[in-house]
Amino acid sequence: MSSTKKGAGSSASGSRKRRSAAPTDAACVRQVGRWLASGFTGCGFAQSFANSSHILLSDVGTSASPEQIDEIFETASSQEIPGVAVFPSIRTEEQLIEQLKLLAAGSRWALRRVTVAGLTTDDLLVGLEWKTSSEFVSLPMGFGPFVTMPATRRAPYVCIATWPGGRANPHRRRPKKGIVDFLDSALPKPLSDAEYKAAWDESVKRTGELLSEQDDDPNFYREVAFRLSATAAERF
Protein backbone atom coordinates (compact mmCIF):
# COMPACT_ATOMS: atom_id res chain seq x y z
CA MET A 1 0.00 0.00 0.00
CA SER A 2 1.09 3.53 -0.66
CA SER A 3 1.12 5.82 2.34
CA THR A 4 0.90 9.53 2.95
CA LYS A 5 1.93 11.47 6.00
CA LYS A 6 -1.01 13.31 7.56
CA GLY A 7 0.81 14.98 10.43
CA ALA A 8 3.04 14.27 13.40
CA GLY A 9 2.41 10.79 14.71
CA SER A 10 -0.13 9.98 12.02
CA SER A 11 0.01 8.18 8.72
CA ALA A 12 -2.49 7.19 6.07
CA SER A 13 -2.65 4.51 3.45
CA GLY A 14 -4.99 4.46 0.47
CA SER A 15 -5.48 4.18 -3.24
CA ARG A 16 -4.73 7.83 -3.99
CA LYS A 17 -2.77 10.50 -2.17
CA ARG A 18 -4.68 13.41 -0.73
CA ARG A 19 -1.75 15.78 -0.99
CA SER A 20 1.98 15.72 -1.55
CA ALA A 21 3.92 14.75 1.59
CA ALA A 22 6.83 12.69 2.83
CA PRO A 23 5.97 8.97 2.85
CA THR A 24 5.45 7.19 6.17
CA ASP A 25 4.89 3.55 7.02
CA ALA A 26 3.53 3.13 10.54
CA ALA A 27 3.80 -0.44 11.82
CA CYS A 28 0.21 -0.44 13.09
CA VAL A 29 -1.11 0.66 9.69
CA ARG A 30 0.86 -2.10 7.95
CA GLN A 31 -0.33 -4.68 10.46
CA VAL A 32 -4.02 -3.77 10.20
CA GLY A 33 -3.73 -3.75 6.41
CA ARG A 34 -2.19 -7.23 6.46
CA TRP A 35 -4.83 -8.45 8.92
CA LEU A 36 -7.67 -7.29 6.68
CA ALA A 37 -5.99 -8.55 3.52
CA SER A 38 -5.50 -12.01 5.05
CA GLY A 39 -9.23 -12.52 5.43
CA PHE A 40 -9.33 -12.84 9.21
CA THR A 41 -12.65 -10.96 9.33
CA GLY A 42 -14.23 -13.68 7.21
CA CYS A 43 -15.57 -10.98 4.89
CA GLY A 44 -14.35 -11.35 1.32
CA PHE A 45 -15.31 -7.76 0.54
CA ALA A 46 -13.11 -6.37 3.34
CA GLN A 47 -10.31 -8.63 2.11
CA SER A 48 -10.78 -7.33 -1.42
CA PHE A 49 -10.72 -3.70 -0.24
CA ALA A 50 -7.39 -4.25 1.51
CA ASN A 51 -5.76 -6.29 -1.25
CA SER A 52 -6.66 -3.70 -3.87
CA SER A 53 -5.66 -0.72 -1.67
CA HIS A 54 -9.29 0.40 -1.97
CA ILE A 55 -9.24 1.65 1.61
CA LEU A 56 -7.70 4.45 3.66
CA LEU A 57 -5.93 3.52 6.90
CA SER A 58 -4.72 6.23 9.28
CA ASP A 59 -3.23 5.97 12.76
CA VAL A 60 -3.99 8.58 15.41
CA GLY A 61 -2.47 9.40 18.76
CA THR A 62 -3.76 9.37 22.31
CA SER A 63 -7.08 11.13 22.98
CA ALA A 64 -7.84 11.81 19.33
CA SER A 65 -10.35 14.59 18.80
CA PRO A 66 -13.58 14.06 16.87
CA GLU A 67 -12.26 16.43 14.23
CA GLN A 68 -9.22 14.19 13.61
CA ILE A 69 -11.42 11.21 12.85
CA ASP A 70 -13.78 13.40 10.82
CA GLU A 71 -10.81 14.40 8.66
CA ILE A 72 -9.84 10.76 8.04
CA PHE A 73 -13.37 9.87 7.01
CA GLU A 74 -13.77 12.98 4.86
CA THR A 75 -10.51 12.18 3.08
CA ALA A 76 -11.76 8.66 2.43
CA SER A 77 -15.07 10.05 1.21
CA SER A 78 -13.34 12.32 -1.27
CA GLN A 79 -11.57 9.24 -2.67
CA GLU A 80 -14.76 7.14 -2.58
CA ILE A 81 -13.20 4.47 -0.38
CA PRO A 82 -13.82 3.22 3.19
CA GLY A 83 -11.88 4.90 6.00
CA VAL A 84 -10.26 3.22 8.99
CA ALA A 85 -8.86 5.06 12.02
CA VAL A 86 -6.28 3.00 13.93
CA PHE A 87 -5.68 3.69 17.63
CA PRO A 88 -2.37 2.01 18.55
CA SER A 89 -2.19 3.62 21.99
CA ILE A 90 -5.51 2.14 23.21
CA ARG A 91 -4.74 -1.04 25.15
CA THR A 92 -7.62 -1.36 27.62
CA GLU A 93 -11.38 -1.20 27.51
CA GLU A 94 -11.28 1.77 29.85
CA GLN A 95 -9.06 3.71 27.45
CA LEU A 96 -11.40 2.84 24.59
CA ILE A 97 -14.46 4.07 26.48
CA GLU A 98 -12.73 7.37 27.25
CA GLN A 99 -11.87 7.75 23.56
CA LEU A 100 -15.45 7.00 22.55
CA LYS A 101 -16.72 9.63 24.99
CA LEU A 102 -14.37 12.16 23.38
CA LEU A 103 -15.82 11.34 19.98
CA ALA A 104 -19.37 11.60 21.29
CA ALA A 105 -18.67 15.23 22.21
CA GLY A 106 -18.24 16.01 18.51
CA SER A 107 -21.11 17.44 16.50
CA ARG A 108 -21.10 14.58 14.00
CA TRP A 109 -20.96 11.68 16.45
CA ALA A 110 -23.46 9.74 18.56
CA LEU A 111 -22.72 6.99 21.08
CA ARG A 112 -25.30 4.62 22.53
CA ARG A 113 -25.75 1.35 24.34
CA VAL A 114 -27.33 -1.28 22.11
CA THR A 115 -29.56 -4.24 22.88
CA VAL A 116 -29.82 -7.02 20.32
CA ALA A 117 -32.76 -9.37 19.90
CA GLY A 118 -31.72 -12.96 20.51
CA LEU A 119 -28.48 -12.07 22.29
CA THR A 120 -28.58 -12.48 26.07
CA THR A 121 -25.41 -11.09 27.65
CA ASP A 122 -24.09 -8.88 30.42
CA ASP A 123 -21.50 -7.53 27.99
CA LEU A 124 -21.58 -3.90 26.94
CA LEU A 125 -22.73 -3.49 23.33
CA VAL A 126 -21.76 -0.07 21.98
CA GLY A 127 -23.20 1.52 18.86
CA LEU A 128 -21.69 4.47 16.99
CA GLU A 129 -23.14 6.90 14.46
CA TRP A 130 -21.26 9.39 12.30
CA LYS A 131 -22.91 12.06 10.14
CA THR A 132 -21.57 12.16 6.60
CA SER A 133 -21.24 15.42 4.69
CA SER A 134 -24.39 14.50 2.76
CA GLU A 135 -27.79 13.49 4.11
CA PHE A 136 -26.72 10.12 5.51
CA VAL A 137 -25.74 8.80 8.91
CA SER A 138 -23.04 6.12 8.74
CA LEU A 139 -22.78 3.25 11.21
CA PRO A 140 -19.06 2.74 11.99
CA MET A 141 -17.69 -0.72 12.70
CA GLY A 142 -15.29 -1.33 15.57
CA PHE A 143 -12.32 -3.68 15.82
CA GLY A 144 -10.11 -4.45 18.80
CA PRO A 145 -7.91 -6.97 20.63
CA PHE A 146 -10.39 -7.67 23.44
CA VAL A 147 -11.61 -11.21 24.19
CA THR A 148 -15.24 -10.07 24.25
CA MET A 149 -15.07 -8.86 20.65
CA PRO A 150 -16.51 -11.31 18.12
CA ALA A 151 -13.80 -13.34 16.39
CA THR A 152 -14.45 -11.52 13.12
CA ARG A 153 -13.66 -8.15 14.75
CA ARG A 154 -10.75 -9.22 17.00
CA ALA A 155 -8.01 -7.13 15.36
CA PRO A 156 -4.44 -6.46 16.54
CA TYR A 157 -5.32 -2.81 17.30
CA VAL A 158 -8.43 -0.84 18.16
CA CYS A 159 -9.90 0.58 14.96
CA ILE A 160 -13.00 2.49 13.94
CA ALA A 161 -13.96 1.95 10.32
CA THR A 162 -16.79 3.36 8.25
CA TRP A 163 -18.15 3.85 4.78
CA PRO A 164 -18.26 7.68 4.60
CA GLY A 165 -20.11 8.05 1.31
CA GLY A 166 -23.59 7.48 -0.08
CA ARG A 167 -25.29 4.58 -1.79
CA ALA A 168 -22.44 3.44 -4.02
CA ASN A 169 -23.15 -0.31 -4.18
CA PRO A 170 -25.63 -1.09 -6.97
CA HIS A 171 -26.25 -4.55 -5.46
CA ARG A 172 -27.44 -3.25 -2.08
CA ARG A 173 -30.92 -4.45 -1.24
CA ARG A 174 -33.39 -2.95 1.26
CA PRO A 175 -31.26 -0.06 2.58
CA LYS A 176 -32.41 1.77 5.69
CA LYS A 177 -33.69 5.27 5.04
CA GLY A 178 -31.02 7.85 5.85
CA ILE A 179 -28.53 5.18 7.01
CA VAL A 180 -25.40 3.86 5.28
CA ASP A 181 -22.97 1.15 6.30
CA PHE A 182 -20.34 -1.05 4.66
CA LEU A 183 -22.98 -2.73 2.49
CA ASP A 184 -23.28 0.61 0.67
CA SER A 185 -19.55 0.83 -0.10
CA ALA A 186 -18.26 1.32 -3.61
CA LEU A 187 -16.69 -1.96 -4.73
CA PRO A 188 -13.04 -2.14 -5.84
CA LYS A 189 -14.21 -3.40 -9.22
CA PRO A 190 -17.62 -3.90 -10.88
CA LEU A 191 -19.29 -7.25 -10.26
CA SER A 192 -22.18 -8.90 -12.04
CA ASP A 193 -25.19 -9.88 -9.96
CA ALA A 194 -24.02 -13.50 -10.03
CA GLU A 195 -20.47 -12.58 -9.00
CA TYR A 196 -21.72 -10.39 -6.16
CA LYS A 197 -24.07 -13.10 -4.89
CA ALA A 198 -21.25 -15.66 -4.94
CA ALA A 199 -18.95 -13.32 -3.00
CA TRP A 200 -21.75 -12.51 -0.55
CA ASP A 201 -22.63 -16.16 0.03
CA GLU A 202 -18.98 -17.04 0.63
CA SER A 203 -18.58 -14.18 3.13
CA VAL A 204 -21.70 -15.28 5.02
CA LYS A 205 -20.35 -18.84 5.14
CA ARG A 206 -16.89 -17.80 6.35
CA THR A 207 -18.08 -15.37 9.02
CA GLY A 208 -20.58 -17.94 10.25
CA GLU A 209 -17.84 -20.55 10.54
CA LEU A 210 -15.57 -18.19 12.46
CA LEU A 211 -18.29 -17.46 15.01
CA SER A 212 -19.85 -20.92 15.20
CA GLU A 213 -17.66 -22.30 18.01
CA GLN A 214 -18.71 -19.43 20.27
CA ASP A 215 -22.41 -19.84 19.44
CA ASP A 216 -22.23 -16.32 18.02
CA ASP A 217 -23.92 -14.78 15.00
CA PRO A 218 -22.72 -12.00 12.67
CA ASN A 219 -26.26 -10.65 12.53
CA PHE A 220 -25.91 -9.59 16.18
CA TYR A 221 -23.38 -6.92 15.19
CA ARG A 222 -25.07 -5.02 12.37
CA GLU A 223 -25.45 -1.96 14.62
CA VAL A 224 -22.81 -2.85 17.23
CA ALA A 225 -19.39 -1.25 16.95
CA PHE A 226 -17.81 -2.77 20.06
CA ARG A 227 -18.65 -5.64 22.39
CA LEU A 228 -16.92 -5.04 25.73
CA SER A 229 -17.01 -6.73 29.13
CA ALA A 230 -19.64 -6.22 31.81
CA THR A 231 -16.93 -4.54 33.90
CA ALA A 232 -16.49 -1.93 31.18
CA ALA A 233 -20.21 -1.20 31.35
CA GLU A 234 -19.68 0.38 34.76
CA ARG A 235 -17.61 3.13 33.11
CA PHE A 236 -19.96 3.73 30.21
The predicted-structure confidence for 69-88, as pLDDT tens digits, reads as follows 999 999 999 999 999 999 99
Exposed, middle or buried, 92 (CB in 10 Å: 0-12/13-18/19+)? exposed
Q: What is the pTM of this model?
A: 0.90
* Per-residue pLDDT, 213: 85
The low-confidence residues of the chain, meaning pLDDT below 50, are 1-10, 15-24
* Per-residue pLDDT, 3: 34
DSSP state of 195: H
* Per-residue pLDDT, 4: 35
* Per-residue pLDDT, 215: 85
Cβ within 8 Å of residue 8, ≥6 positions away: none
Angle (CA) 220-225-228 rounded to 5° is 85
Cβ within 8 Å of residue 129, ≥6 positions away: 109, 110, 111, 112, 137, 138, 139, 140
Domain count across the chain: 1
What tens digit of pLDDT does each residue of 218-234 get?
Answer: 999 999 999 999 999 88
* Domain carrying residue 74: 3-233
